Chain A
Amino acid sequence: MADIQTLQKLSTQVRRDIVRMVHAVSSGHPGGSLGCTDFLVALYNGVMNHHPKNFTMDGIGEDLFFLSNGHISPVYYSVLARCGYFPVEELKTFRRLNTRLQGHPTTHDHLPGVRIASGSLGQGMSVAIGAALAKKLNKDNSIIYSLHGDGELQEGQIWEAAIYAAANKVDHYIATIDYNGRQIDGDVENVLSLGNLKAKFEAFGWQVVETEKGNDMTSVIEGLAKAKTFIGKGKPIVNIMKTEMGAGVDFMMGTHKWHGSAPNDEQLAKALGQLEETLGDY
């Protein structure tokens, strides 16, 4: 695992990539992307065992990650590129005609690192469970990870999957919830409250781990390390991770307004002023 400072530098660069990508095409989802940056940077740079230079769809012997909330594709693409799945300069093709970096991730164009299309919400947990079952049949002890938005938990399929994973003891699987409390129409609490999320997952038979500071690298790594201690203990694991939508760019925080809006030129300049170029822009 890289040291905390190195990971933080990478996070800052990924955040620059995110705002530049969505600005360039005046579309995309910066808010959730910025909020999940620290998590994905940690996951792909030390937590997961994976082989960016030798991508295979089956990923035998590798840990696998599934992005269920596909709209945060900017952070996903930046993290994948910056750990070597594809050239960093390809980020400039995001959402443009003929790109492999579609608005929402897809396997359709064979982008290394992506194993399922996502965008229509609520499907990724089922897919992750299926991949976990395949691992078990293949006697492969690797871990399956997935990420879901909190608003996404309003989809019924999530709870079908949650029942299944607990009943069948899918215990080499860690689902993380991006618990930022915001969705397109406003606060999750006001749109459709999730109630006591921890109690819900516990009642469904899951092992719950809470990451209180999902935008603090140390806290993110500790949360994932704690989640891993429950691997193989008979329960699926959920990591409820509190994040701030828009984290790292002050005017994008504290509101749901940047869920799916891109900054203009002035706003981009302001955002980049808060994010030091650490590893070179694409």
Chain B
Amino acid sequence: MKKYTYTEKKDTRSGFGAGLQQLGQTNPNVVALCADLIGSLKMDAFKAENPDRFFQVGIAEANMIGIAAGLTIGGKIPFTGTFANFSTGRVYDQIRQSVAYSGKNVKICASHAGLTLGEDGATHQILEDIGLMKMLPHMCVINPCDYNQTKAATIAIADYEGPVYLRFGRPTVPNFTPADQKFEIGKAVMLNEGTDVTIIATGHLVWKAIEAGEKLAEQGISAEIINIHTIKPFDNEAILKSIAKTKCVVTAEEHQMNGGLGDSVAQLLSRHTPTPQEFVAVDDSFGESGTPDELMTKYKLDTIDIIHAAHKVIKRK
């Protein structure tokens, strides 16, 4: 098992803030909008440095999405910022009609996704957003795993023509990807080559997949670990190549089982090469209040759950 280390834990939302700040300095067409969550989304620096290109829209997310769509008419590249719940479910029809169907170059940037939002509870812990967004035709869906990758993704999507959903979160997680690693939209990142089982993880579950891989290695199991930061467009080739070798797969995500990464993998495999698959995901449930760690344990999204799933799926081969 390849050794991964990190010097500090950082929140992915700060990676977004840093990426946006850099874009403010390098791309004059980038504009940003926020619905009363500047601090939470780490948009302060962009706002301070580019007051004319920053739009505070207040607690009015539907209006924010519409304004963002309008700003593209005239060549601007709008980045909207609010919590994942208010970035997707609350404004689904606005995104569907004014952004996706209209083919507008809007970047919907969503923080506090999933259970790790923590104590605020289920009203804010959206676990359906990847599904909602990936169902929209031509919507690009990205869920990076750490600070560096989120910063790189933020910068990369400015050069991608078309609507993008960028999902990140609140808790601090190990920042292990190289700061200079190029972010390639739609390209899976191979973290460890293995032969017994493929673990495909996204977002906060990527580090847990690495931890699981280390434990499995101690038990004599060789796990191939893939960081799939882009849920759509999906890197079919990388997944099929890995499955051809390992013949079984575990998917891991901080999202509902319905509609998430696991669904995308299952759909791909059922069409090309039906393969035993286990899902580490929330099983048709809302979240609740608690610390992020407590919630990840209770809802079975932890390192140990990936290990259990790996054992189970290997037996099904």
Contact = CB atoms under 8 A, between A and B. Distances in A.
Interface of A: 57-60, 64, 66, 106-108, 115-120, 122-135, 137-138, 140, 156-157, 160-161, 163-164, 168
B286 interface: no
Contact of B66 (A107, A127, A137): A127
B53 A137 contact: yes
Contact of B73 (A115, A117, A119, A120): A115
A137 B94 CA distance: 24
A105 to B, nearest CB: 10
Interface of B: 31, 52-53, 55, 57-58, 60, 62-76, 78, 93-94, 96-98, 101-104
B67 A127 contact: yes
A119 B93 CA distance: 11
A135 B75 CA distance: 10
A123 B98 contact: yes
Nearest to A128: B70
A131 B97 contact: no
A163 B75 contact: no
Contact of A137 (B76, B96, B103): B76
Contacts of B52: 137
18 contacts: A60-B75, A106-B102, A107-B102, A116-B70, A116-B73, A117-B98, A122-B62, A123-B93, A126-B63, A126-B67, A127-B73, A128-B70, A129-B66, A130-B68, A130-B72, A137-B52, A163-B60, A164-B58
A137 B52 CA distance: 8
A58 B73 contact: yes
B62 A134 contact: no
A60 B69 CA distance: 16
Nearest to B62: A157
Most chain A CB within 10 A, of B31, B63, B94, is at B63
Given A58-B74, A115-B73, A123-B98, 10 more contacts: A59-B74, A107-B101, A116-B104, A129-B63, A130-B66, A131-B74, A133-B67, A156-B62, A157-B66, A160-B62
B101 A58 contact: no
Given A107-B103, A130-B69, A60 B97 contact: no
Nearest to B35: A160
A118 B94 CA distance: 10
A126 B102 contact: no
A134 B76 contact: yes
Contacts of A131: 70-71, 73-74
Nearest to B53: A137
Q: Which of A106, A115, A127, A128 has the most CB of B within 10 A?
A: A127
A168 B71 CA distance: 15
A134 B70 contact: yes
B97 A118 contact: yes
Contacts of B78: 130
Nearest to A155: B62
Contact of A117 (B57, B63, B72, B101): B101
Given A120-B97, A126-B63, A157-B94, A134 B102 contact: no
Contacts of A130: 66-73, 78
A129 B69 CA distance: 10
A118 B96 CA distance: 11
Cβ-closest 7 pairs across A and B: A130-B70, A126-B66, A134-B74, A160-B63, A160-B60, A130-B67, A127-B70
Contacts of B93: 120, 123
Given A59-B73, A116-B73, A120-B97, A126 B62 contact: yes
B62 A117 contact: no
A140 to B, nearest CB: 7
Contacts of B75: 58, 60, 134, 138
B102 A132 contact: no
B70 A137 contact: no
Contacts of A140: 74
A160 B86 CA distance: 15
Contacts of A168: 55
Contacts of A125: 66
Contact of A116 (B31, B62, B74, B98): B98
Contacts of B98: 116-117, 123, 126-127
A196 to B, nearest CB: 23
B261 to A, nearest CB: 28
B57 to A, nearest CB: 6
Contacts of A135: 74
B55 A108 contact: no
Contacts of A137: 31, 52-53, 74, 76
Nearest to B33: A130
B46 to A, nearest CB: 15
B94 A117 contact: no
A116 B43 CA distance: 28
A164 B74 contact: no
Contacts of A134: 70-76
A69 B25 CA distance: 39
A137 B68 CA distance: 14
A157 B69 CA distance: 14
A108 B67 CA distance: 19
